[in-house]
Amino acid sequence: MGMQGSRCIVVLLLLSVLVLISTSAALAHNITELLSSRPDFATFNRYLSRTRLSYEVNSRNTITVLAIDNSAMTTLLAPRPTLATLRNRLSLHILLDYFDAGKLHQLSSGTAVAATIFQTTGKAPGMSGFVNMTDLGGGKVGFKPQDGSVDFAVFFVKSLVENPYNISVVQISGVIPSAEAAAPVPDPSMVNFMDTMTRKGCAIFAATLVATPKAFAAYKDNLQGGLTLFCPGDEVFLHFLAKFKNLTVDNRISYLEFCVTPIYRSLATLQSTSGPINTLATSGPGSFVFTVQNVGPDIALKTKVNTVKIIGTGLDQQPIAIYLLEEVLLPHELSASAPVPAPSPAPAPASTHSPPVPTPESPSPPAPPPLESVPPTAPPPLDGPVDQTPPPKSHGARAHHQCLVMSLISLALIMMS
């Protein structure tokens, strides 16, 4: 191996270390795992997952969770609120800033105000989506909505998790009272969801979803916890249908699940979102994801295949959002650049001679295999095949080229993480 090859290996190793470091930082917390070892908070943890608030917590770099124990959760659940109402109540307990025990007991000017997940929904009137934290003296810190509707009735108990400036989990003595967050919100129904899609310009997409039972079931199973659908309008989806029907059944399901995220995202939330967004089709890191780009007032979704703008809002009412797209957003996994199964071997050329007629003394030719045993060829990709095979390179030039490409890919991973 020459000097150039050795340098390439050193560069790649260094970049790999940086990628690992940056990746571990990006995946620094998982609220479900952090609370899993604390049985006193099992109910709170379970409903963070059921309301999809755990997704919100895990997707943010700086967050504080005001946790309540099983006893307080029993009180909260006693009136049997809908899951949508419960999400609002719990979202008031998730602060979009970092507050650990030390910071809470050393508040500058004795008080601080923080926005919550409830505020980002756009459904919190006035200052009801903000939480006031005040040092009341004697080691007591109180919590209440900033709108001044109630006095301090909930207090700091203890710190559960502290990962400075990333995530803090603090136990408080009870549920933060808020008439706005507690306002009844009916759970969405699949009938209303489909009806809204049909009326707002996604009728063909809705019909396609109904005709794909597994995808329809996935939507239905996640509806109560919140969904955000990015739907191609009827005209553009109609032109896409031929390619969609050429996909395998599994890939049709994956595409339909790729169009929706398992969490409610208001327009305001999308405008402040960055980084990869998981979808119902996501099965691992980087699988069936897209990123959000904000350029002025425009919001666009980007994959490795194309970039598509949001051109309208069909519905933005917690826990459901439906946004209309100007074009069909194409996942990389179903594109020409994604790995596809190797095609079946080409059949041998037909003989120019007539086949011998079987006689009783000679065995009959074998029967052809059943249709289901013939391996299917890979369906055409959504964005069409493109031959981009480069001309042959010399060994040295090829090695240098590969090193450069791998280095650039590693650097890109660092910048994206």
**Measured between alpha carbons, how far is 181 from 128 in angstroms, rounded to an integer?**
8
pLDDT band at 6 (very low <50, low <70, confident <90, very high): low
Please tell me the predicted confidence (pLDDT) of residue 225.
81
**Per-residue pLDDT band at 192 (split at 50, 70, 90):** confident
Q: Is 350 exposed, middle or buried (0-12, 13-18, 19+ CB in 10 A)?
A: exposed
State mean pLDDT over 92-118. Answer: 95
pLDDT of residue 208: 95
Amino acid at 151: D
pLDDT at residue 41 is higher than 70? yes
Instruction: Reply yes or no on whether the pLDDT at 302 is more than 90.
Output: yes
Q: How far is CA 339 from CA 306, 334, 379, 385, in A?
A: 18, 9, 12, 12
Task: Pick the more confident residue, 360 or 28.
Answer: 28
Min mean pLDDT across 216-230, 238-252, 352-366, 377-391 is at: 352-366
Q: With a cut of 80, say whether residue 188 has pLDDT above it.
A: no
Lowest mean pLDDT among 169-173, 310-314, 335-339: 335-339
- Tens of pLDDT, residues 376-413: 444 556 655 433 344 444 455 455 545 544 554 444 44
Does the pLDDT at position 46 exceed 90? yes
- Average pLDDT of the segment spanning 254-266: 93
Q: What is the rounded CA–CA span in Å between residue 94 and residue 118? A: 8
Please tell me the predicted confidence (pLDDT) of residue 383.
59
- The pLDDT tens digits of the residues spanning 157-183 come to 999 999 999 999 999 999 999 999 999
For residue 5, name the pLDDT band (cuts at 50, 70, 90): low
What pLDDT sits at residue 336?
63
Q: Is the pLDDT of residue 219 over 80?
A: yes
Average pLDDT over residues 290-296: 89
Band (pLDDT 50/70/90 cuts) for residue 1 is low
Among residues of the chain, what percentage have pLDDT more than 90? 55
Domains (range + CATH), the chain: 29-172 (2.30.180.10), 190-334 (2.30.180.10)
pLDDT of residue 150: 83
Confidence of residue 20 (pLDDT cuts 50, 70, 90): very low
